[in-house]
Amino acid sequence: MDWEAQLKLQAYLDGELPEAERRRLEATLAQGGQSSLLLAELRQTREVLAGFEKGIQMPESREFFWSKIEREIRRQESPARVPAPVSWAARLRRLLVPASTVALLAIAGFLTIRNDGSSLLPGGTEMETALTDTGAFTYRDYSAGTTLVWLSYPAENEPDDDEDAVTLQ
């Protein structure tokens, strides 16, 4: 039995079918079969449920109870709030604020690093080490106008003059 036929049987039991359909359905029911068995089961279920409802007492009136349910359904069915459209200026601001922050950090980085790769220390001082000769160290203080070159001899990877003399003999 299809879903439509089951719904028509329920409508027949509730007295909601038009007269012409009711007569056709009664003729089908008179022949017996699956539809008459389903109708008998629906009637039994209706009687059981009707007897069950008699013992239940609601703490409030039926109208008030159902009005609460109706209000809750309407509240849940209310359309979701649609956010206001974002203006083009706000979208541009969302893009420019992070981009300008990155640009400012990049400019600050470029200003602190000189072209030759050495970094500028606070107070306008600069330190430089020669990678080819690890025995020399240069310190420049631009605010005082001084330059200090520190030479450490013998260098760590060069032999002492005394050692050379010993090996030559």
Q: What is the pLDDT of residue 70?
A: 92
Domain ranges of the chain: 3-73, 118-169
Q: Is the pTM of this model over 0.85?
A: no
Q: What is the pLDDT of residue 169?
A: 43
Which one, of 118, 98, 116, 94, lies nearest residue 106 by Cα? 98
Name the helix (H) or strand (E) containing 41: helix 34-53
- Joined together, the tokens standing for residue 44 give 């039994």
Is the bond into 154 cis (omega within 30 degrees of 0)?
yes
- The answer on pLDDT for 102 being more than 70 is yes
